[in-house]
């Protein structure tokens, strides 16, 4: 049986991906078919958040999402250029705060924060942000600097 190529927009560019079977995870399509290794595989069970990307602007676990389920959607990964102003700001804030240790969880954190900023804007309360990051684990336990980076992105008094 021949299958239609998978049609996506990835980081603002249209992509037609051939031969994507129905049971392939979005994470594998990104990493192995499109060669975009910025998105990480951690637990592969939805516990760690390392694979978080944005699908039509919403944070999404790419390890628990079938690629075919997001056919026609716009997928944003940590590799997106600075024309994505929200992601660019989050990356800059993480960089300025030194919010990484080994760096493996960082793409997931960056995309989770970017998703929340898109959804709630810079007026999001600190508790909301901490709650929204509850799905992301840093096994180096470098959370203090991550929270500092997030605080720097908020419009309210810190």
Q: Which residues bind another protein (CB under 8 A)?
A: 22-23, 25, 44-47, 49, 52, 55, 58-61, 63-66, 68-69, 112, 115-116, 131-136
List Cβ neighbours of 147 (8 Å cut-off, separation of 6 or more).
126, 130
| Distance of closest approach, residue 134 Cβ to another protein, in angstroms | 3
The structure tokens listed for 71 are: 């056919």
Q: Which H or E run contains 151?
A: helix 143-153
Query: Are 86 and 21 within 8 A, CB to CB?
Result: no
Shorter beta-carbon distance to another protein: residue 48 or 99: 48
| Distance of closest approach, residue 93 Cβ to another protein, in angstroms | 19
* Beta bridge partners of residue 15, listed in sequence order: 8
| Distance of closest approach, residue 97 Cβ to another protein, in angstroms | 21
| Distance of closest approach, residue 45 Cβ to another protein, in angstroms | 6
CA dist 134 and 123 (Å) reads 19
Shorter beta-carbon distance to another protein: residue 11 or 52: 52
Q: Which H or E run contains 13?
A: strand 13-17
Query: Are 135 and 49 within 8 A, CB to CB?
Result: yes
Shorter beta-carbon distance to another protein: residue 99 or 112: 112
Shorter beta-carbon distance to another protein: residue 68 or 148: 68
Shorter beta-carbon distance to another protein: residue 38 or 135: 135
CA dist 109 and 52 (Å) reads 8
| Distance of closest approach, residue 29 Cβ to another protein, in angstroms | 14
């Amino acid at each position: 049986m021949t299958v239609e190529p998978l049609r996506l927009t990835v980081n603002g560019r249209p992509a037609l991906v051939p031969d994507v079977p129905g049971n392939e995870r979005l994470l594998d399509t990104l990493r192995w078919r499109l060669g975009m290794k910025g998105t990480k595989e951690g637990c592969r069970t939805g516990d760690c958040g390392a694979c978080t990307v944005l699908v039509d602007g919403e944070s999404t676990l790419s390890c628990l999402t079938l690629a075919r389920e997001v056919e026609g959607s716009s997928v944003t990964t940590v590799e997106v250029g600075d024309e994505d102003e929200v992601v660019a700001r989050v990356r800059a804030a993480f960089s300025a705060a030194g919010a990484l240790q080994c760096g493996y969880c960082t793409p997931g954190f960056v995309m989770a924060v970017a998703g929340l900023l898109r959804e709630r804007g810079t007026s999001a309360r600190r508790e909301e942000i901490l709650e929204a990051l509850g799905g992301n684990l840093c096994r180096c336990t470098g959370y203090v600097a991550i929270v500092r980076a997030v605080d720097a992105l908020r419009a309210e008094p810190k």
